[in-house]
């Protein structure tokens, strides 16, 4: 991956933080960076499109958290 790719993903993740007005969170950043890498790998090359996808897909910090086990897996 090029430096341009890293910059694109960094800007998209930063836009997510600005949009939701939340402070830095290591877990959220790791999650969002993984999502950004996948978007980039699937051909997304626009900061605006990547940021919009992250913002729409992961609403606030809660949207970046792994869900608790479902009731099916507990039984």
pLDDT in tens, 1-34: 688 999 999 999 999 999 999 999 999 999 999 9
Count Cβ atoms within 10 A of the Cβ of residue 4 and give its class: 0-12 exposed, 13-18 middle, 19 or more buried: exposed
Give the Å distances, CA to CA, from 23 to 14, 44, 49, 52, 74.
Answer: 11, 26, 22, 19, 33
The pLDDT value recorded for residue 68 is 34
* Structure-token match 């933080």, residue found: 17
CB 61 within 8 A of CB 28: yes
At 35 the three-state DSSP class reads helix
Residue-wise pLDDT for 28-70, tens only, equals: 999 999 999 999 999 999 999 999 999 999 999 999 987 534 3
Residue, of 71 and 20, whose pLDDT is higher: 20
The pLDDT value recorded for residue 21 is 96
32: its two tokens: 């969002």
């Amino acid at each position: 991956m090029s430096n341009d790719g890293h910059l694109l993903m960094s800007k998209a993740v930063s836009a997510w933080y600005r949009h939701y007005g939340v402070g830095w969170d290591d877990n959220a950043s790791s999650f969002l960076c993984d999502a950004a890498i996948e978007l980039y790998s699937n051909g997304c090359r626009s900061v605006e499109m990547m940021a919009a996808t992250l913002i729409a897909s992961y609403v606030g910090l809660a949207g970046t958290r792994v869900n608790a086990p479902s009731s099916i897996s507990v039984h």
